[in-house]
Amino acid sequence: MNKHLLNKQERVLRAFSDSNVLFVNAGFLVEQRTVFGLSGEDSDLAVSIEWSDAAGCKWAADFTEENLLTASFAHNQITLNDSEGESVYLECHDLKPGKV
């Protein structure tokens, strides 16, 4: 695999795993995330997330290694398609404790 593409996948994985707080689509908090990592197979599951919308409905999105290749970045935001082809918008935040 092209080194540039592998670096892009790793950058997306770091955002999923290193961010203290993730918001999905219209600002819904990601309640659970599982990062499986990279195996080198495009069809292998790399990341899975779950969240609830304002009505309390549960949602989930799975991302294959191939999905990570098509991600686009802007500051702390990532847009990518999940394994069903749906566009998912994420905001990644690193919250730090405030001073008292």
Q: What is the pLDDT of residues 30-48, one digit of tens each?
A: 999 999 999 988 899 999 9
Beta strands in 1-100, from DSSP E residues, in sequence order: 21-24, 28-35, 45-52, 58-64, 72-74, 77-81, 87-93
pTM of the model: 0.86
Count the domains in the chain.
1
Domain region containing 78: 3-93
CA distance 66 to 56: 30
Average pLDDT taken over every residue of the chain: 89
Going by C-alpha positions, the residue among 65, 99, 62 that lies closest to residue 82 is: 62
10 domain residue, yes or no: yes
Which residue bears the tokens 């994420």?
Answer: 90
In a domain, 59, yes or no: yes
In a domain, 98, yes or no: no
Say which CATH number the domain at 57 has. 2.30.29.190
Q: Is 100 among the domain residues?
A: no
Q: Would you say residue 69 lies in a domain? A: yes
